Amino acid sequence: MTRAIRVFLVDDHRLFRAGVRAELGPHVTIVGDAGDVDTAIQGIRQTKPDVVLLDVHMPGGGGRAVIQAVHETLPDVRFLALSVSDAAEDVIAVIRAGARGYVTKTISPDDLVSAIGRVHQGDAVFSPRLAGFVLDAFAGDLPAGVSSEDPELDQLTTREKEVLRHIARGYTYKEVASRLFISVKTVETHVSAVLRKLQLSNRHELTAWAAGRDLL
């Protein structure tokens, strides 16, 4: 392993981030860390790491929201999910969003270092049981109750999803424009498109819709 690989950590537990830093420090270069979705998005855009090691469940939309917000503008950044969850729906959700791998927090430090290196090289990395979920998803044979698609969400562009999440969380159009570095007019255009595609009437319905999909 080479310390030339630049890694960004995303997890809402500060002590866990500190522990991962201590374990990975001798092997990779940690360029930053964050404990929530918005801070993670800003930090990743500023530091442009090679690999983002991120938790799946966090306040503000979780790891999937981070991937969706960053993937379009920084396509070279690789994402490796690191979670306590081994649920099929969590694995499928982050892979669909663009993650290159998914390992659980029971992984050993040496294996985690190896997984980061492999993801950086472009490989897909999964714990053996989780790899089965992914294979089942591509084969159309998911566990009961797990869907491989969200047709309503999938019809939105990445930028529309990003605007949706900010509006649903209560930001004004001006605040959204400032945070996403776009004009207020562009925000208005995206919101109109989101409401039309989702057949919603106002931001209150939009907020309820987003909450039902863990996008807040």
**pLDDT (tens digit per residue) in 30-39:** 999 999 888 9
Dig out the tokens for 193 from the structure.
């498109």
**Beta pairing, strands 51-54 & 6-10:** parallel
Segment 36-51 mean pLDDT = 93
Average of pLDDT values for 5-21?
93
Task: Supply the pLDDT for residue 140.
Answer: 56
Residues 6+ apart with CB under 8 A from 195: 201, 202, 206
Share of the chain above pLDDT 90, in %: 31
* For residue 186, pLDDT beyond 80: yes
Task: Give the residue with greater pLDDT, 211 vs 99.
Answer: 99
Give the Cα separation of 153 and 198 in Å (integer): 8
Please tell me the distance from the alpha carbon of residue 43 to that of residue 50, in angstroms, as a whole number. 13
Q: Which residue has the tokens 């979705």?
A: 37
pLDDT digits (tens, 9 = 90+) for 191-209: 888 888 888 888 778 877 8
Helix axes 173-180, 158-168, angle to 10 degrees: 130
